A and B are shown apart, each in its own frame.
Chain A
Amino acid sequence: GAVVSQHPSWVICKSGTSVKIECRSLDFQATTMFWYRQFPKQSLMLMATSNEGSKATYEQGVEKDKFLINHASLTLSTLTVTSAHPEDSSFYICSARGQKAEQFFGPGTRLTVL
């Protein structure tokens, strides 16, 4: 159990375009999902907390207008990187929280902005 999927697994886009990444909890309902970003050889950095039916809570330094998060159902959260630039290139990972403190992670999405 506790399977989380992400789509797409990788995406290449031109600078200035927007990219949407989907995160789904496949076998459980997740009232809370999280979005992380990881740079090479670095730790996972929490970007925002996504609660079903309400606005996301962003960490300090994360632009909410640039990284739009929608959590419309108990099994789906989306992250849209708007007007992407090369510095937004990164590995984006979502997670869904289980009954305790455990978070179960998706496989990640590699974004490359040309």
Chain B
Amino acid sequence: DQQVKQNSPSLSVQEGRISILNCDYTNSMFDYFLWYKKYPAEGPTFLISISSIKDKNEDGRFTVFLNKSAKHLSLHIVPSQPGDSAVYFCAASFRGKLIFGQGTELSVKP
């Protein structure tokens, strides 16, 4: 039973445009949501997080939106840069543990 889902395995975006990565979840008890960026054979790098009591959090080029009624969150990257190309994982926190989605591979083309 996949509690956190990223339904798009890959996304390709032109440099300078907006990248939108989506994530759906099923457990309404999750209290925190996080996005991580990962390169092959490396550990994930924390990007941005949002508490379940908020609907938006912004940090530079990264903005995370949370829609609790739809159990959906998204990560917006604008403007996208070639260096953003990586696998992005969303994660949800419950009792201190993180449950990860399957990841979306973002490719930003020059």
Interface residues of A in 89-104 (CB under 8 A from B): 91, 93, 95, 97, 100-104
Contact B103 A43 (CB under 8 A): yes
Q: Which residue of B lies closest to A107 (CB)?
A: B43
Residue of A2, A43, A97, A101 near B100 (CB, 8 A) is A43
CA distance in complex: A42, B46 (Å): 18
- On whether A100 and B96 interact (CB within 8 A), knowing A43-B89, A44-B44, A107-B42, the answer reads no
CA distance in complex: A104, B97 (Å): 13
Interface residues of B in 51-110 (CB under 8 A from A): 89, 93, 96-103
Contact A105 B43 (CB under 8 A): yes
Chain B residues lying within 8 Å of A97, measured Cβ to Cβ, are: 96
Smallest distance from the beta carbon of A34 to chain B beta carbons, Å? Answer: 7
Interface residues of A in 1-52 (CB under 8 A from B): 2, 4, 6, 32, 34, 42-46, 49
- Interface CB pairs A-B, < 8 A, 29: A4-B43, A43-B89, A43-B100, A43-B102, A43-B103, A44-B44, A44-B100, A45-B100, A46-B97, A46-B98, A46-B99, A49-B96, A49-B97, A91-B41, A93-B43, A101-B31, A101-B34, A101-B49, A101-B96, A102-B34, A102-B46, A103-B98, A104-B46, A105-B36, A105-B45, A105-B46, A106-B43, A107-B43, A108-B42
Instruction: Point out residues on B near A: beta carbons under 8 Å.
Output: 31-32, 34, 36, 41-46, 49, 89, 93, 96-103
